[in-house]
Amino acid sequence: MSADSDQGRERQESPGLYVESTVIMTTVRVIAPFVLTFGLFIMFHGADTPGGGFQGGVVAGAVVMMLAFAYGIDTTRDWADARLVALLGALGVLTFVAIGLGSIALGGVFLEYPLYPIKKASKYGMELVELGIGAIVASIAVGLFFLLAAGFGHAMDEPEGDES
């Protein structure tokens, strides 16, 4: 991030775009932990109640969007780097694949949960899989959000396609 992004942040504070509001910042600070907990609950508890990785991942991703709404998109993007976001998704895929192939390594077939030597292996295995899916979905939701938001507030005083 060079001087270019600093310029971007200054531009963003032009009227009508990002407004630093104490009300919004305080509300988001209070609500964000609960939303994240709800997202994780949907992910983890998808085995016994409605929900699962796809829904929980979106809710968890929405936390980052809420932060961006309150603290400014560029600031949030500096905090949650695109590489970090992509890494989260990659970890999700690896978790799913590892659980799937692990049971083959133990002498079974793909995703044969009962082979894992823990209590209620199916249930916990499935919850880990859901967590992996959640990580993928959250990272892609946040990534798309940052991509689409990249030009936010810059379109007014710049010709199109002049972001690089």
Would you tell me which residues interact with another protein (CB under 8 A)?
Answer: 1-2, 4-5, 8, 42, 46-55, 58-59, 61-62, 65, 77, 82, 85-86, 89-90, 92-93, 96-97, 100, 110-111, 113, 120, 122-123, 126, 129-130, 132-133, 136-137, 139-141, 143-153, 155, 163-164
Nearer to another protein, 106 or 148 (CB): 148
Question: Which residue bears the tokens 């859901």?
Answer: 130
Q: How far is the CB of 72 from another protein (least distance, A)?
A: 14
| Inter-residue contact 143 to 86 (CB < 8 Å) | yes
Nearer to another protein, 70 or 77 (CB): 77
For 45-120, where are the alpha helices, taking DSSP H only?
53-71, 73-79, 82-105
Question: Which residue bears the tokens 């030597």?
Answer: 117
- Name the helix (H) or strand (E) containing 33: helix 22-44
Nearer to another protein, 72 or 153 (CB): 153
Q: What are phi and psi of 24, to 5 degrees?
A: -65, -45
